[in-house]
Structure formats: C-alpha cells, structure tokens
Amino acid sequence: MSVPISQMWTVASYVLKQKLLGRKRYPLVLMLEPLFRCNLACAGCGKIQFPVEILRKQLTPEQCFQAVDECGAPIVSIPGGEPLLHPQMPEIVEGLIKRKKYIYLCTNALKLEKALSQFTPSKYLTFSVHMDGPREEHDHAVCREGTYDIAVSAIKAALKQGFRVTTNTTLFDGAQPERIRGFFDEMMELGVEGMMLSPGYSYEKAPDQDHFLKRNQTYRLFREILSAPKKAWQFNQSPLFVEFLKGNYDLECTPWGNPTYNIFGWQKPCYLVDEGHTQTFAELLEEVEWDNYGTQSGNPKCANCMVHSGYEPSAVDATFSSLSGLVKTARLTLFGAPKQNRPLGDLDTDQRFDEAETPQRPERKPNELPVLQ
C-alpha cells in the first residue's frame, strides 16, 4: 500500500462530503507554486522562462496560508521552480502541517540532503523527488550530469531520517520501456513509498519541443512499460488514472481539481496553461469557461494532454461518482490490471492528436536560461 490509510481516509471523506453537498466542481490538490526560480534548467520545463525579476519573487508564508485556507483542498502539492530555494520553506511546511494538509514537496533534490535538518518527519510531509528515469536519461532530461546520483543520495538520507519519500517521473518520446522498468526496480529497492508517472505536457515555452508525446504515443508507451507489472512496484496515483494512461479507461479533464496559486494569483485555467489569473479562488471557479478545456472541447492546447494535474482528480472523482467506479478501483487495487488491453481502434489513429497545434520553438536554449541558486 503506497499511501497511508489516514491519508486515503482524509481524501475519501473529503470527496464524499463534496458529493453529499452536491458540489460539481471542487479542488482536490492545491498546486502551490511559491516561486518559479530553479537551480536547474530542464529542456522540457515550461515554468522557468520568466524574466529574472519575476524569478526572484516568491510568495510569503502568509500568502501561502491564505491560499490554502481559501481553497480548502486536503492535499497541497508544492512544485515550482525548486521549492527548497525558498528561504522560508520550513516555515511554510510547518504552517501547512498545523492545518493538517498532506503536503507533497516536489524537489529535484539538489539541496534536499542539506535541508533535511530544517524539517521534521511527519505523516503529513512527503518529499516528492523528481526522477526522470535511470541515471543517463534523468541527467539528460534535466540537462546536468550528476543529478541522479545526488538525488539518490538525498532519497537514502531522507528515508533514513524517517521522512516519507516518493518519486515523480515525467516521460517523453524516446523513453525505453525496459529501462524504465529497471528504474522502477531501483526506486523500490531504495525504499520509496510510491512512484508517480506522467507524460510531459507540451509547454510552448519549453526549449525541447521535439520529445513531447502525442496521446496515442502515450497509450502505447504506458502499455509497454506497465505490461506485467511487478508486485513490488507501488504507484502513488489512482489505479483509474494509470488505466487512463494505457488507454483502457476514459477520463475527461477536471482542471479545477488541481488549481494553481502562484505569485500572480490563481492561474486560469490550470497548472499547465496560463491564460491570466484571478485574485480569489471563488473568482477562478466563476470566471473560467470550463467547457473550453479538456480533450472533448477541441481546444488544441488540450488535445494531447494526459497530465496528472488535469486527470488525477478526474480519476478520484470517477472512483466516488458511482458504484461501478468504486468497484473498478477496488478490483484494480486488489487484483491488478487485466492482462488484456482495450483495443485502441479510433483512438490510435485519431487525427486530432497528430494535428494539434505545434507550439513555436523559443529562441533561448536550455543552457541560456537563468539558473538561480
């Protein structure tokens, strides 16, 4: 079991309460981006292209707490940028633990080992370490040699000190299924609690535009990687989301499920697409034309998106929306996925995915982006 029972119970009771209250749109995970600056400049990242004056800004702890209280989601994910570059991150984490929020602090782990002494192990705090595959692939993806070994050392140190640790892995075109399977073995042998997988989103600002997966490529890649999964592998995500990545289960995006708050406010409409901001969470829910997003909308920005921040809340909602959703999730959890995949049929040749707008390649290359410490 990759997630503690208390966390599962908190999420289940929260979702059931939203259902009983008849709320159609509710947040599940707040994506709290306290800063955009990073000590890496990954080729697939669409978050670090802001001017230096923006990269130097950060949310105060009070702004973080206000956003968390306003949103009410039981889980707070802290991506960035690199959250450990925020000098008040321990204070922010402490404040969120006091509020009994389950925190996933996403980090490239370059500063994690040194920073551990500033945190206290808690069931509410998980370090979610960015690991994009085995050593060679990871170092290539983050555009710096040696990062895999630093991250592995930090994971070991964090586990030894009693912290919860998971990994998050973004996959791109060219990922080799056998090597990714070997990587899963390595991570589980280290003792991480679970692994989170997602295909990369085709950020128009990302320097590398050639390796984002189209939707039908995603289905094929995840089918290969996850065929005959090993018992030891634990995934820190809903089984319905995993089946969605394999093309075996249909989900539509619920972008309000993972709302994003950063130095500009509440980002419209989602963590990936930036079409302006509102100053309150209530305004975000009211102002966004939600029907304009998701695969069915025909919006080219959404055509190939299968990212966890859009679809993981959909999977959780599907679990609790009907008896069949609950039974399917229970079956997948207890007995694993069926050996046979659903025929992809039209999904495999759907022209929308191949014809989705190709974002323009920006002028700056990864090593020309500012890397701030």
Of 91 and 250, which has the nearer Cβ to ligand SF4?
A: 250
Pair of tokens at residue 56: 């130097």
Of 111 and 268, which has the nearer Cβ to ligand SF4?
A: 268
Q: In sequence order, what are the residues at sequence separation of 6 or more whose Cβ sits closer than 8 angstroms to the Cβ of residue 135?
A: 148, 149
Of 28 and 125, which has the nearer Cβ to ligand SF4?
A: 28
DSSP 71-127: H--SEEEE-SS-GGGSTTHHHHHHHHHHTT-EEEEEE-STTHHHHGGGS---TTEEE
Shortest Å, Cβ 231 to ligand SF4: 32
Q: How far is CA 221 from the centre of its chain?
A: 18
Among 188, 195, 270, 288, binds ligand SF4 (CB under 6 A): 270
Shortest Å, Cβ 108 to ligand SF4: 22
Of 73 and 110, which has the nearer Cβ to ligand SF4?
A: 73
Pair of tokens at residue 249: 């289960």
Of 14 and 256, which has the nearer Cβ to ligand SF4?
A: 256
CA 209/CA 13 separation, integer angstroms? 41
Shortest Å, Cβ 325 to ligand SF4: 20
Q: Taking CB under 6 A as the criterion, which residues in 65-124 touch ligand SF4?
A: none
Of 61 and 255, which has the nearer Cβ to ligand SF4?
A: 255
Which conformational region is residue 70 in: left (phi greater than 0), alpha (psi within -120 to 50 degrees), or beta? Answer: alpha
Of 321, 230, 220, 307, nearest in space to 270 by CA:
307
Of 59 and 273, which has the nearer Cβ to ligand SF4?
A: 273
Shortest Å, Cβ 209 to ligand SF4: 16
Binding characters for ligand SF4, 154-193, by CB under 6 A (x = yes)? ----------------------------------------
Of 156 and 211, which has the nearer Cβ to ligand SF4?
A: 211
Tell me which stretch binds ligand SF4 (CB under 6 A): 105-113, 153-161, 168-176, 267-275: 267-275
Asked whether the beta carbons of 91 and 81 are under 8 A apart, the reply is no
Identity of the residue numbered 210 = D
Q: Per rule CB under 6 A, is residue 205 in the interface with ligand SF4?
A: no
3-state secondary structure string across 118-144: HCCCCCCEEEEEECCCCHHHHHHHCCC
Size of the site for ligand SF4 (CB under 6 A): 14
- Closest residue to ligand SF4, Cβ-based? 310
Among 48, 73, 105, 253, binds ligand SF4 (CB under 6 A): 253
Binding characters for ligand SF4, 281-320, by CB under 6 A (x = yes)? ------------xx------xx--x-x-xx----------
Q: How far is CA 296 from the centre of its chain?
A: 22
Q: Per rule CB under 6 A, is residue 272 in the interface with ligand SF4?
A: yes
Q: Per rule CB under 6 A, is residue 255 in the interface with ligand SF4?
A: yes
Of 164, 167, 159, nearest in space to 184 by CA:
167
Of 163 and 172, which has the nearer Cβ to ligand SF4?
A: 172
Pair of tokens at residue 90: 């321990």
Of 102, 138, 143, nearest in space to 5 by CA:
102
C-alpha atoms less than 13 angstroms from C-alpha of 83 in its C-beta half-sphere:
26
Residues forming contacts to ligand SF4 in the complex (CB under 6 A) are 253, 255, 269-270, 272-273, 293-294, 301-302, 305, 307, 309-310
